Amino acid sequence: MRYVSTRGDAPVLDFGDVLLEGLAADGGLYVPREFPALSVSDLRDFAGLEYHEVATRVLAPFVAPSLSVDGLAPLVQDAYATFTHSDVVPLSALAAGEHLVELFWGPTLSFKDVALQLLGRLFEHELARRGSFMTVVGATSGDTGSAAIEACRDRAGIELVMLHPAGRVTEIQRRQMTTVDSPNIHNVAIDGTFDDCQDLVKALFADRPFRERMRLGAVNSINWARVAAQTVYYVTTAVRLGAPERAVSFCVPTGNFGNVLAGDVARRMGVPIDRLVIATNHNDILTRTHRTGEMSINEVRPSTSPAMDIQVSSNFERLLFELNGRRGAPLAADMARFRTEESLALASEVLARLRAGFDAGSATEEEVAATVASVNEASSRLVDPHTAVALTVARRDAPVGGWTTPIAVMSTAHPAKFGEAVLEATGIEPELPPTLAGLADRDEHLTSLPNDLVTLRDFVTARCSR
Ligand SMILES: *Cc1c(COP(=O)(O)O)cnc(C)c1O
């Protein structure tokens, strides 16, 4: 398997390079030169397999030739052994034909674990193979930070520096990061906002000598390996709901287009997926683009589903590349225009293809709270606000007469992770699972730094140099 950039002007790489590189040199994102195919008999076989076995089969063509099936299998098995549900990604029925795909049974209770638990192990394996090391630097407003820390802790060859805005993440989110006691994990509370943290990270990456000396790497969702890992639960869910004999549709809460993009990849590989429904909160750039054909940036407004409070959806570029017939040069021009004008009109054929494969809808904060409450009333179940965004859209925007296939709604966080919003909507405080129950009593490890690039650079040099 070889990987090409969506902007058509970067070296063609294999999986190991794409894994460590992140962003392509031309500013684009790496995608496979062609998608591997899953046959009808593959899908039939999968019905009898465990999650990690399906994952190994689905991912093997993406990682070859950097990594063999025999090299991949133990990493995958180990990654998903950290999940506390025996199905890894279990499926539960909410109403007739309506299912929740529970993506939150990993160590930090959000769907980020599904990709990052594997990514940390892939990093370690590839670095050992090369006799190399990397310094992962990231900024987080919540879920990504703890998932990346759990994925990278105690791994050989990796130092991880995670920035969060001091006093601006929830107590649970902070403690999930800072109570990890591992010599290669460095939590930094920046005296500033999340945007300040992101700007600092970008500035570190822009310092070329520093970047090369420290071998900076990234764990954000531009990394193709994350998308690949996420295709697996579309496959396992479709098979559980009747594939290959029967098609299924998915409704996915999204901001950065990472999760739902993986559904599109699974469909391109041959999984019988009918509709993919893009569900956004009031930060609705994706829904507006689908409705109007104009992709334009608005101000970000905080919501009860903060992991989707995003206005630039980086993975959408990968879909645009498919929709424009995989033409890198015109896409590069489009993305440059989008960056300067903060707006881009999609070509009519691109928009038509988008609408042919996807639906889109956004949920207001009132609708989200009402959905959390009504699910609790009808089924005595608590769902988190991100999940409720998708449930709202799946129910409200169902075709007249209902979905013609089963509809699988992605449940991306454990309700306790966003307990305040759940309490507000239902009057019930969701309980943290036993693995996190002692969180409030553990020691915290973090360094407070001012919003200053030189101070941060010195800190990273002192902590992470080899
Ligand atoms: C990150 C996240 C999302 C959004 O994921 P995308 O990559 O934008 O699709 C949704 N829900 C939760 C709980 C998340 O942590």
Protein residue with its CA nearest to atom 7 in ligand 1: 258
pLDDT above 90 (res 101): yes
Mean pLDDT of the region 173-177:
93
pLDDT at 158: 97
Amino acid occupying residue 79:
A
Q: How far apart are CA 141 and CA 128, in angstroms?
A: 31
Distance between CA atoms of residues 169 and 140, nearest Å: 9
Give the domain 91-107+230-426 fold: Rossmann fold (3.40.50)
Quickly state the pLDDT bin for 234 (edges 50, 70, 90).
very high
Share of the chain above pLDDT 90, in %: 86
pLDDT in tens, 387-443: 999 999 999 999 999 999 999 999 999 999 999 999 999 999 999 888 888 888 999
Please state the rounded mean pLDDT for residues 184-196: 92
pTM score > 0.85 for this model? yes
Q: What is the pLDDT of residue 269?
A: 98
Instruction: Work out the average pLDDT over 143-172.
Output: 93
Give the chain's radius of gyration (CA, Å).
21
Q: Is 240 a residue whose pLDDT tops 90?
A: yes
Banded model confidence at residue 94, pLDDT cuts 50, 70, 90? very high
Best of 29, 100, 259, 283 to mutate for ligand 1, by most ligand atoms within 8 A of CB? 259
Residue whose tokens read 């001012």: 450
Contacts of 147 (CB under 8 A, 6+ apart): 106, 107, 108, 110, 112, 113, 116, 117
Instruction: State mean pLDDT over 313-340.
Output: 96
pLDDT at 242: 97
Nearest to 358 by CA among 461, 426, 310, 287: 287
For 56-74, what is each residue's pLDDT tens digit? 999 999 999 999 999 999 9
Residue 417 annotated among the catalytic residues of the structure = no
The active-site residue out of 112, 186, 353, 414 is 112
What confidence category does residue 310 fall into, taking pLDDT thresholds of 50, 70 and 90? Answer: confident
* 259 Cα–ligand 1 center, Å: 7
Residue closest via CA to ligand 1's atom 11 equals: 412
- % of the chain exceeding 70 in pLDDT: 100
pLDDT for 218? 86
Give the per-residue pLDDT at 46.
98
Across residues 346-366, what is the average pLDDT? Answer: 98
- Of 240, 287, 299, 296, the residue nearest 260 (C-alpha): 287
Q: Are 29 and 6 in contact (CB under 8 A)?
A: yes
Nearest residue CA, atom 2 of ligand 1? Answer: 307
**Domain boundary assignment for the chain:** 91-107+230-426, 133-220+433-466
- CATH of the domain spanning 133-220+433-466, picked from 3.40.50.300, 3.40.47.10, 3.30.565.10, 3.40.50.1100: 3.40.50.1100
If you average pLDDT over every residue of the chain, what do you get? 95
pLDDT band at 176 (very low <50, low <70, confident <90, very high): very high
Asked if omega into 65 is within 30° of 0 (cis), the reply is yes
Enumerate residues lining ligand 1, CB below 6 A. 110-112, 143, 221, 253-259, 307-308, 386, 412-413
Statement: residue 221 has pLDDT above 80:
no
Q: 3-5 and 30-32 as β-strands: parallel, antiparallel, unpaired?
A: antiparallel
Residue 170 confidence class, pLDDT cut points 50, 70, 90:
confident
Protein residue closest via CA to atom 4 of ligand 1: 254
pLDDT digits (tens, 9 = 90+) for 267-294: 999 999 999 999 999 999 999 999 999 9
Residues 6 or more apart in contact with residue 169 via CB below 8 angstroms: 140, 141, 142, 145
- Of 150, 256, 257, 392, which is best to mutate to test ligand 1, by the most ligand atoms within 8 angstroms of its C-beta? 256
Tokens of 128: 């050992």
pLDDT of res. 300: 84
pLDDT score of 185 more than 80: yes
How far, in Å, CA of 207 to CA of 250, rounded? Answer: 41
